[in-house]
Structure 1
Amino acid sequence: MGKHMGYLNHECDLPLSVDSCLLELPPYLPKYKRWFFSMKKFFTIDERSARTKRFFRSYATVMSEKKRHAEGEYSKIIHPFSRCAIYKERLICILWMTSLLLDPIRWSIFMPCDTDHALFKIQLALDVAFLLNVVVTCFTGYCVPLTREIIFSPKIILKNMALSYLVPETLSSLPYKHVLLKCFGINPRKSRAMAICAIRLLRICRLTDMIRYLINILQELNIPESISTIMIVFLMAFFMIYWSACGLYFVSICYYTWDGLPTESWLFGGENKDMNFLHKRVCSGTAREFFDLLVTTFIRSTCHFFGASEGYREIILTVEKLVCALVLVSGYIYSNYAMAKVLELFGSVNISESKYEELIYQVSEYVRSKHLSENLRKRLILYYEYKFQKRFFKEEEILATLSEHLRCEVFLHTCRNILERVPLFQGMSKGVIGSVIGYLKREIYLPNDVVIKYGEPLTKMFWISHGTLAVYFGTDMTEILHFEDGDHFGDYSILKKGGTAYLSIVALEITEIFTLARKDVKHCTAFVKEMTEKVIRIGKEKIHLYTSLAKMMSDEGSQNMVLADLRKGRILEKDRWRKKRPKTMVKSSAYSTEN
């Protein structure tokens, strides 16, 4: 049967297992309970998403995290790698982008307008959506980038996001103008109290989150990193200029009030017209008039942002000069930031990524010169991408410059996954483990690569760090089980007599394995002394287990298929209502009975 698990696409002969880590549903479960079960799967980790595959190194790690979330104390918390969290992130990214466009116009150009304006109704709906997002965020886990730890505790979530996310987002979503107009009866044309709407400037704090969400969306669309970086740089520049333009408008109106604005202000555009005309142009004018006003303001802000000129008209008022100076300083800082990003992208600042791209280019040229197949080219690219994680470095030269103690610490940290999960190392002293770690070699196997072939002599002992392997027994290649993170095999290779492989092992996904070669065993005498008895004992148990599994798979193959179909609900019928018989048939049957 095909086993499609996001990471793996493998025709598996093993009995079908429940990978959702949730209770299996009976065939006759009511629809509302099935809906509840589907929602629970919607809130847990999605192993098929590209983001999950980038974060977790193997399918076994994903299943372990899924089990931890489903069976843990905080199973009702939304997982940050779930479909719910991913869809919410995409939706909020679009809503934030819309709000960052509409919000500045609302509290600047459209400040004197009534709340019945269509723009205010749209923004009110967005604010309600943002407040709902604040509530949902309190029940959504988050990932710590440095430790790659996923937090589910509501107390820690509130403590971590209170000041940086929850409070600013809540304050920037409250309807201040509606309160001032409806509750206090303040005239927005004559009062400086409307300056309280500046609290909504906290919405700009979400610009970094919006950019991060947008980068995730671009990665899921497989947009190259260079193109996405350029898009982000231009998008941030647009929003900063746009907000600066609205800020020029907002500060002038709040300082002088709408009716008290001097005619020397740049808002009049050099025309000797009163504020009633400007108010009518903004609130009751045509779309063309509003667009012309917005473009004029945007061009002036762009000129000051890049220090090009003063725009169409000279700035006379002191307050407006101060705002323009602030815009100029902001533009100077951002221009340097944008230049740094460009140097990081194309220059020597990001030399590790540049060398990786150079290596991939050399690999592509090598494939082209040797006339290798497209499939082989993809496998080579996949190998280098997994090995270097898109950052090229020479590990041997780096380790050669370290002291023996530091080198041992680096090896211990690199092999921490197998040290924590392999039962073979449990209880061993640090000295014994340290004598082995230095001789371990890291190997990477791509899907369908043969790690061990039946009948070949054992020359290495293997420990799986990340990945999944299929295990086949005997010459008939009967699949009996899977090896995953923390498993080990090839134990007899460290014995003097050695051994012959009685299994064939094939990689199902990209698998990282640490090996100890037979020629290096002589340097690990303490390890060999402590391991010899364990290897002989465990080896006998493994042979008995593998033989039993192979016999069960061969003798009960048909029965396993029936059980698999039963688990899928293919054998049991679905409940169906019996159709009503026609009345004529009922009468005729009754008549025949009486006769």
Structure 2
Amino acid sequence: MKNLFRLEKNESDGHKCTVKRRESKSFLPPRSVEDGFFQSWRRSFKKSTLISEHNPQSTEYFRSMAEILRMRKDHVISKSCIIHPFSMFRAFYEMWMTVVLIIVLFYMPADSAFDLYEHEESDEDDFEEELHSEPFRPFSFLIRVICMVDILMTFFTGYPVKKRRKVVMKPSKIAKHYILSIYFVSDILSAIPEPFFIKNHNTQRLINALGFLKVVRLPTLFFYASRSAEILGIRSVTIQVIKNILITYIVFHWFACIHYMVPQIRYFMYGEVLAESWVIKADLPELDFFSKYVVCLYRAAGCIFCINFEESQVVVWEEKMIEIVTFIFGKVFIFYITVLFMHQLLNQRSLEIKYFETISQVKAYMSQKHLPMHMQLKLLQFYDYKYNKKFFKERNISSLLSDKLKGEINLNVCSKLVQSVALLAHLPQQSLEQVVTYLKAEIYLPNDLIIKSGSVGDCMYFLASGTVAVWTPSGKEVCHLQDGAYFGEISLMIKDKRRTANIVAIEICEVYKLDRRAFKNCFKGNLELLKMLEDVAAERLEITQMFEDIHVKAFLEK
């Protein structure tokens, strides 16, 4: 989502603010020449922690720039060290934590499961020695330190209350809100950097297993990813696709780790791993990490999809329990993915569904009115061209727009028409916007009579797309007019002049009608354009009359 408003507009917006401000937008003390590097860095950092209009969340919670500036000023005056959740620092921090959480959600369960079982490969004497300590692992330690820093960051960051549209910045309320949430306990237990103060290897294994609690941060990951995508301008559809793929793989990955972890939990509790365990029967301890992971991933996928493998039947009760849980979760997960897919499909096809519902109503209407077949086909052809198989209520949408916005939309919609019609190209921008405002779109089907000769002319037409034929009153075809042409101007230029020709649609035509009153308002001040129209009208009248005379003479001779 792009920012809805800015205090300073770009040059393309047409406004350069020249009002002198008595204080800066950040409301921080002005920089001094005597300030050193540390003072400058401190001021820049403080500015980045204030609410920013460039953060998309600011425009969701606050309706005006004045409100944002007021929030920023109050933050500076309070001299609080709390980081505003809608600041640019927080926005970039969430981008960073998106990457970190993805790594954590994949690394911690894999580290807890596959790294622990490596000790079973050693002989008994060596294993007894290894029970006392575990070697220092820099990457694991770094991940846990980052998680601990994130806990501290949460205590120093305000949080929004969506229902009340306010932001809580009081430290005591922030701490209470975080500690009483489900995230605090899981964050603490999964972020303990154990190698420095825990020497017993069994305890280390238990602490590593607590990394599975990080799964509760999955909604936080998707929240951060969505916010980061808004700032980076990534399409929401792309985010949804990536989100669904990521959810699916995380589920498979976590169950693969859990299936391998269960026999190790038994060893931790009872000091043994049964020979009947599927891990032992599959000789997994003898394989390298990648081979173990693929086998476990394959088994987890089978359980999730409720596929039973005869070669790996389980007899140990713990493994039976985890298979039952996986089967149940798999059924729920498949149902969830199916509903999610159908929801996405229906959202994308909602306009098409509405269109076919409308067509069903139209068919029922035609059947009830006993319309002839050729009329039914024309009606269906009209709806197909008008809505292009996507039904929407244009009047309901446009009724909420301001006149200025309507004018800009009309000008954009008619841009192709303006470019193709030479007459409109000679109009100044202000007159062009006025003309476009008065234009009324109409659709004519093949063989529809657009203008009938001899009738009173009260409008002219601009042909946006399609082809029309010009016929004399006696039935002689004069010419064809195509995209960008205009017709019907003769009766407007010559007073009390009736229509001089028949205009018939050869194919489906989209035309824009300009009535007499609007014509006078738009063209009366442009004498050069009126002269051009008069010349074209006189020329067309002469040509039509010539063809009419020739055709009548030939008819009388016959």
- Tell which deviates more after alignment, 23-32 or 141-150: 23-32
Q: Work out the CA distance in 1 between the residues paired with 2:148 and 2:192.
A: 9
Q: Which residue of 2 aligns with 1:8?
A: 9
**Aligned equivalents of 1:304 and 1:68: distance in 2?**
56
Structure 2 distance, partners of 1:64, 1:161, is 26
Shift of 1:201: 2.4
How far apart, in 2, do the equivalents of 1:65 and 1:263 lie?
A: 66
1:67 is the counterpart of 2:73: yes
Rounded to whole Å, the distance in 1 between the matches of 2:95 and 2:352 is: 28
Indicate the residue corresponding to 1:297 in structure 2: 296
Distance 1:59 1:146 in 2: 21
TM-score using structure 1 length: 0.52
1:83 paired with 2:88, answer yes
> Which position in structure 1 is the counterpart of 2:188?
170
Change (3 A) 1:216 1:311: farther
Number of residue pairs matched by the alignment: 350
Name the structure 2 match of 1:421.
none
The equivalent of 2:166 in structure 1 is 149
**Structure 2: which 5+ runs fail to align?**
120-129, 355-384, 387-392, 409-558
Gap change, CA 1:242 and 1:338, over 3 Å in 2: same
1:104 to 102, 109, 118: 109
Deviations 1:5-60 (A, max 9, x none): 56622312322552222222234434432222112102112222344345443333
1:543 aligns with none
Residue 318 (str. 1) matches residue 336 (str. 2): no
1:264 partner amino acid: E
Corresponding residue number in structure 2 for 1:24: 30
Q: 1:372-429, CA deviations, whole angstroms, 9 ceiling, x for partnerless residues?
A: xxxxxxxxxxxxxxxxxxx9996999xxxxxxxxxxxxxxxxxxxxxxxxxxxxxxxx
- 1:95 corresponding residue in structure 2: 100
The aligned runs of 1:274-289 (5 Å cut-off) are 278=285, 281=286, 289=288
Residues 409-460 of structure 1, C-alpha deviation per residue, up to 9 Å, x if partnerless? xxxxxxxxxxxxxxxxxxxxxxxxxxxxxxxx984866999xxxxxxxxxxx
Partner Cα separation in structure 2 for residue 319 and residue 49 of structure 1: 49
Residues 236 and 117 (structure 1), Cα distance of their counterparts in 2 relative to 1, 3 Å cut: farther
Distance in 1, matches of 2:135 and 2:252, equals: 25
3-state SS, counterpart of residue 114 of structure 2: coil
* Match of residue 58, structure 1, among 64, 67, 89: 64
Residue type of the partner of 2:83? I
Q: Secondary structure at the match of 1:150?
A: strand
Deviation at 1:87, TM superposition (A): 1.9
Check the 8 A contact 1:344/1:350 in 2, yes or no: no
Distance 1:5 1:396 in 2: 26
Question: What is the alpha-carbon distance in structure 2 between the residues aligned to residue 311 and residue 393 of structure 1?
Answer: 63
Structure 1 residues 68 and 236: alpha-carbon distance in aligned structure 2, compared to 1, 3 A threshold: same
Q: Residues 219 and 335 of structure 1: is their aligned pair in 2 closer, same or farther, counting only changes over 3 Å?
A: farther
Between the aligned residues of both structures, percent identity stands at: 22
In the alignment, the residues of structure 2 paired with residue 22 and residue 447 of structure 1 have an alpha-carbon distance, to the nearest angstrom, of 41
C-alpha RMSD over aligned residues? 3.9
Are residues 1:202 and 2:220 paired?
Answer: no
Give the match for residue 232 of structure 1. 243
Distance 2:343 2:394 in 1: 15
Q: How far did 1:247 drift? A: 0.8
Q: How do 1:552-563 and structure 2 match up within 5 A?
A: none
Take 2:66 and 2:265, find their aligned partners in 1: how far apart are those partners? 59
Equivalent of 2:282 in 247, 264, 270: 270
CA contact (8 A) 2:145 2:193 kept: no
1:160 equivalent in structure 2: 177
| Equivalent residue runs for 1:322-471 within 5 Å | 322-347=321-346, 443=402
Q: Which amino acid aligns with 2:35?
A: L
1:43 matched to 2:61? The reply is no
Separation in 2 of the partners of 1:103 and 1:393?
A: 55
Deviation at 1:315, TM superposition (A): 2.3
**Which protein is bigger by CA-based radius of gyration?**
2
Instruction: Report the Cα distance in structure 1 between the residues aligned to 2:155 and 2:403, rounded to whole angstroms.
Output: 40
Alpha-carbon distance between aligned partners in 2 of 1:354 and 1:171, rounded to the nearest angstrom: 49
Question: Structure 2 length as normaliser, TM-score?
Answer: 0.55
1:136 corresponds to 2:153: yes
RCO (CA 8 Å, sep 6+): is it higher in 1 or 2?
A: 1
Q: Is the CA contact (8 Å cut-off) linking 1:194 and 1:254 kept in structure 2?
A: no
Alpha-carbon distance change, 315 to 392 in structure 1, aligned in 2, over 3 angstroms? farther
Cα distance between partner residues in 2 of 1:296 and 1:93 = 29
Structure 1 unmatched runs, 5+: 272-276, 283-288, 356-368, 371-390, 398-440, 450-595
1:262-294 CA-partner distances (Å, limit 9, x unpaired): 2222213535xxxxx92xx47xxxxxx211111
Q: Which moved more, 1:52-61 or 1:31-40?
A: 52-61
> How far is 1:145 from its partner?
1.8
Find the aligned partners of 1:269 and 1:392 in 2 and give their Cα distance. Answer: 67
Matching residue of 2:469: none
User: What's the secondary structure of 1:107's corresponding residue?
Assistant: helix
